């Protein structure tokens, strides 16, 4: 199986998406007959080459983060560049990995629906969307703690299974997506910890703490 992987993170090789893909690809490559090609969409000057890669692909995996529930501009630009290939006979099968800092999978469900529609519009067979929340901290987290969390191994096993069957393992994908939603108590704890240890210091560092409740796009009637 030949897999063409597109990393849609604006951070490129310094991204959390790259870390997750490394584990997936390591699992995928346990099958000696498999090969892969990896492209970074942040290299916008190579956009024509990306379209050609997609056009010649057998299986496509597009992975990217969400920023405040929104896909990165480089991903949207890539998707729009594929418009001439819509409905073309021989378009590749396509699957997606969506990761975000939000711990709840529900934040990614709307983009999941969009991606399924995208596959239909392109005329690609849709392989599914794997969702993983709570990813932002992994770059600065000690390796032993990331191993303890277990989802690196899950991405390895997901890639291994995909390399054998050409499909995402539904049980692994289901487990990676947990939790779908926090309980009220979990949400309260998360909000307390996230605000005090991450967001508030970040806002103060950028002299924006006093503006944290600003609503610049609210239309007052």
Q: Which backbone phi and psi does 75 adopt, to 5 degrees?
A: -75, -45
Same domain, 216 and 112: no
Q: Give yes or no: residues 107 and 130 share one domain.
A: yes
- How confident is the model at residue 146, as a pLDDT? 54
163 and 209 housed in the same domain = no
150 class by beta-carbon count within 10 Å (0-12 exposed, 13-18 middle, 19+ buried): exposed
Q: What is the pTM of this model?
A: 0.85
- Residue 149 has a pLDDT of 62
- Any idea what the CATH number is for the domain that residue 18 is in? 3.40.50.360
pLDDT of residue 68: 74
Q: Give the residue ranges of the chain where pLDDT is below 70.
A: 137-149, 221
- For residue 147, the model assigns a pLDDT of 57
Same domain, 73 and 9: yes
- The number of CA neighbours under 13 Å toward the Cβ of 142 is 3
Are 65 and 132 part of one and the same domain? yes
Q: Are residues 191 and 157 in the same domain?
A: no
Residues 217 and 129 in one domain: no
On whether both 72 and 137 belong to a single domain, the answer is yes
The total number of structural domains in the chain stands at 2
- Side-by-side strand order, sheet with 2-7: 35-40, 2-7, 59-65, 93-99, 126-132
pLDDT per residue as tens digits for the range 81-116: 999 999 899 999 999 999 998 888 899 999 999 999
Task: Give the domain extent around 156.
Answer: 2-181
């Amino acid at each position: 199986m030949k897999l063409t992987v597109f990393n849609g993170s604006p951070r490129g090789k310094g991204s959390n998406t790259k870390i997750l893909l490394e584990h997936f690809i390591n699992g995928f490559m346990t099958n000696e007959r498999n090969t892969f090609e990896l492209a970074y969409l942040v290299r916008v000057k190579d956009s024509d080459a990306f379209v050609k890669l997609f056009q010649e692909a057998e299986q496509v995996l597009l992975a990217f983060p969400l920023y405040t529930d929104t896909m990165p501009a480089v991903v949207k630009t890539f998707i729009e560049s594929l418009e001439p290939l819509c409905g073309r006979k021989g378009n590749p099968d396509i699957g997606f990995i969506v990761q975000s800092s939000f711990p709840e999978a529900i934040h990614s469900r709307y983009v999941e629906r969009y991606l399924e529609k995208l596959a239909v519009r392109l005329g690609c067979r849709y392989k599914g969307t794997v969702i993983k929340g709570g990813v932002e901290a992994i770059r600065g987290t000690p390796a032993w703690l990331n191993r303890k969390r277990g989802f690196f191994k899950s991405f390895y096993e997901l890639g291994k299974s995909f390399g054998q069957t050409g499909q995402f393992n539904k049980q692994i994908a289901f487990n990676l997506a947990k939790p779908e939603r926090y309980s009220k108590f979990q949400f309260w704890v998360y909000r307390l910890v996230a605000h005090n240890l991450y967001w508030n210091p970040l806002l103060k560092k950028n002299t924006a703490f006093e503006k944290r409740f600003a609503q610049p796009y609210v239309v007052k009637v």
